[in-house]
Amino acid sequence: MIYDVAIIGGGASGVAAAIFLGNANIRTLIIEQEKELVKKVKKTGNGRCNFTNSYYDEDSYRGSKELADSAIKAFNYEDSIKFFNSLGVHVRDVDGYYYPYTNRADTITSAMINGLSDKVDVIIDRIVLKLEDKGDYYHIKTSYKDFDAKKVIVATGGKAGYFFKNNDEQGYNLLKDLGHSITKLQPALTEVYLKAFSNAADFSGIRIRGSVSLVDDISKSAKGEIQLTKKGISGIPVFQISRYLDVNSAVKVNLLAFETEKETVDFLDNSSCKGDRSVYSMLIGLFDERLVKGLIDDDIKELKYGSLTYEEKLEIIANFNFIDRVSGLAGFDKAQVTKGGVKADEIDGLSFKSKLARDVYVIGEALDVDGTCGGYNLQFAFSSAFVAANDIIKELL
């Protein structure tokens, strides 16, 4: 039997493409290396699955913004909402961030799996070893048995995700064999390790409102709840700028209760409880006690706050607004997405068809496109799947 389409990868983009194709009566095969489909989706949004976002601008995606823009124009957030409505999912709007109404990611994954028509066959727990172009179809060698298909969609995703047992760049290697180039791969939306900060004390578990920015480019900045870890910093603001960082990148971390040292000192000076209290006593009312112990020298802690000059107070508060250098990024096992992938100029942005390999399409995270936090990566998965499936439907029907 020769399938119309074989989809390598049963993640968000692969299963979405299979739904579109199956609904058009296109005979489709999904080959997935994990033991279940859309496994990674279950972990998104802390298990709540923020699957799209109504806000979209030039900073929503990194890597090839042209590919991202082409996909989003063809299938935007409203289309994603309609798509999941058609699968029986009720949607909750939280300030433009869209979730299943149940706030459960398995609502999305179950709907996608149940949305596969009888035109779609699924093979799980099997690895694709090789693609052989036979002229009018592809011969697909797997660790289970071989299959044939007229067209192939590569939806193997990236390297991010702690549960992958075969995180060995399988999809990238298949694409390299077809002549494609892969840009440098790096974890993104991930924890950042800091050199000096991690040596001060173990701050793991502390959560604090703040901001983080790239010293060499202050436009790369994000605010929100920062999570302190044993080795550095994590949380959404850190994730947002992590794709711009490398070892030795300089980052500015602001853990102040206010925007500036001056605002923080003014707040403390106006406090009715300052009296004769020590620096330590004043600060633990504003910052986590472990943070104060780790960042302020012992001899400073015991000084009377009221005896200090304004400049001395500013100098003390500056310890919570510091510049440090990156010692590394958490690995792919902790990352939410992969920076890098198939080079954009090797893909037709109007169809997501390879320019180098006949009747091969590449979608989702396998491409050099990564979005910020907020549902953007799943939206690109659905959008690129729609574009590729729609092109195949036009060609086959």
Count of domains for the chain: 2
Residue 272, Ramachandran bin (φ over 0: left; ψ between -120 and 50: alpha; else beta): alpha
Specify the CATH number for the domain of residue 300.
2.40.30.10
Residues 146 and 235 in one domain: no
Apex CA 159: angle with CA 109 and CA 389, to 5°?
50
Choosing from 329, 357, 376, the residue where a domain stops is: 329
Domain boundary residue, one of 329, 349, 383: 329
Element (H, E) at 52: strand 52-53
Collapse the DSSP code of 85 into the 3-class scheme (helix H, G, I; strand E, B; otherwise coil) and give the result. Answer: helix
Please check whether residues 35 and 128 belong to one and the same domain.
yes
Asked if 44 and 13 sit in the same domain, the reply is yes
Give the Cα separation of 178 and 132 in Å (integer): 9
- DSSP calls for 19-49: HHHHHTT--EEEE-SSSSTTTGGGGGGGGT-
Coil, strand or helix at 172? helix
Structure tokens at 335: 């990352």
The pair of structure tokens assigned to 259 is 């925007």
Q: Are residues 38 and 110 in the same domain?
A: yes
Rounded alpha-carbon distances, angstroms, from residue 156 to 11, 14, 84, 115, 364: 7, 8, 22, 20, 8
Beta bridge partners of 234: 227
Query: Which of these, 258, 192, 260, 181, lies nearest to 226 by C-alpha position?
Result: 192
Same domain membership, residue 168 and residue 21: yes
The reply to whether 213 and 325 lie within a common domain is yes
253 forms beta bridges with 212, 322
Residue type, 120: V
Under DSSP, the state recorded for 73 is H
Residue 259 pLDDT: 87
The CA-CA-CA angle for residues 276, 282, 285, to 5°, reads 140
pLDDT recorded at residue 127: 93
**381/288 same-domain check:** no
Nearest of 175, 142, 143, 141 to residue 156 by alpha carbon: 175
Closest CA to 9 of 45, 44, 40: 40
Residue 304's domain comprises 192-329
Token pair of 309, please? 């000059």
Does residue 42 share a domain with residue 10?
Answer: yes
Same domain, 39 and 162: yes
Angle between helix 310-317 and helix 261-269 axes, rounded to 10 deg: 120
**Residues 83 and 145 placed together within one structural domain of the fold:** yes
Asked if 220 and 368 sit in the same domain, the reply is no
Domain termination residue (choose one: 329, 351, 385): 329
From the CA atom positions of the chain, what is the Rg in Å?
25
Q: What is the pLDDT along the chain (397 residues), one digit of tens a residue?
A: 999 999 999 999 999 999 999 999 999 999 999 999 999 998 887 889 999 999 999 999 999 999 999 999 999 999 999 999 999 999 999 999 999 999 999 999 999 999 999 999 999 999 999 999 999 999 999 988 999 999 999 999 999 974 444 456 889 999 999 999 999 999 999 999 999 987 777 899 999 999 999 999 988 999 999 999 999 999 999 999 999 999 999 999 999 988 899 999 999 998 766 668 899 999 999 999 999 999 999 999 999 998 999 999 999 999 999 999 999 999 998 899 999 999 999 999 999 999 999 999 999 999 999 999 999 999 999 999 999 999 999 999 8
Supply the CATH number for residue 383's domain. Answer: 3.50.50.60
Residue 354: beta bridge partners?
347
On whether the CB atoms of residues 383 and 69 are closer than 8 A, the answer is no
From the list 174, 179, 171, the residue with the least C-alpha distance to 32 is 171
**What pLDDT does residue 274 have?**
61
Would you say the C-alpha torsion 256, 260, 262, 268 has a positive or negative sign?
Answer: negative
Look at strands 61-63 and 369-371 and give their pairing: antiparallel
Could you tell me if 32 and 162 lie in one domain?
A: yes
